Amino acid sequence: MASVLQVSIRRTIANASSASLKVPARQIASSKPAFSRSSLVGSRGLTSIPQCRMTVAASGRLTNTTQQQTQYLKIQRRWNSDGSGTLRRWGFEEVNAALPSDSSSSPSHKPAIFIDVREPAELKGTGVIPSAINIPLASQADAIFLTDDEFETRFGFPKPPMEGDSQLVFYCKAGVRAETAAQMAVQAGYDPERVAVYYGSWLDWAKNGGKVEKWEGDDF
């Protein structure tokens, strides 16, 4: 009788052990570490850089779009490494005061050329600061280095003059591209005292209820 009881106890223990080792396949699958696609992609960092449409011609050479993108990235690195001066910062009040108006002949009025460096598709959706010209940074990175004739042939309006009293005020959506474009203007030979960045750019302008002009320009 004792032996029968012992055998029964052993079977009970064996069954319990076996049950504890049986783990549903679903539970096993869920216990595996999940590697999302984002965890395998490197960090983009803090600096926003416009997208580059990289294409390769039949000859295997990179197209002009990529070459232009590489050019302005090199300029930005050189600016950051050579200890160049800080760019002038403009805010909403300065920009608003420099808009064209009936009192533009007033001594207190500061002449300014507003340069929107966003892409034309962005401007069609939001409009621009009144009187602004569009020199898109991502797709026309070499624009500021063109000769006056080359610039006017490409864009259909005169290149901002190297000499004069007019302030060149760059802006984009949030200020990042504008700062890069302003740095490039200084590298191209514009007087740093005449180059400024509207750091709040379009987001700040819209938030403060700035005047808006409809964009009717062409794509480049």
Catalytic positions: 172
The tokens describing 71, both together, are 């050019």
> 3-class SS at 195?
strand
> Which residues, in sequence order, are bridge partners of residue 115?
133, 170
Contact 176, 202 (CB under 8 A): no
Cα dihedral sign, 34-35-36-42: positive
Q: At what angle do helices 176-187 and 64-81 cross, to 10 degrees?
A: 80
CA distances from 189 to 4, 71, 134, 144, 165 (A): 101, 16, 20, 10, 15
The tokens describing 95, both together, are 């920009």
> 3-class SS at 148?
helix
Distance, C-alpha 67 to centroid of its chain: 18
Contact 54, 66 (CB under 8 A): yes
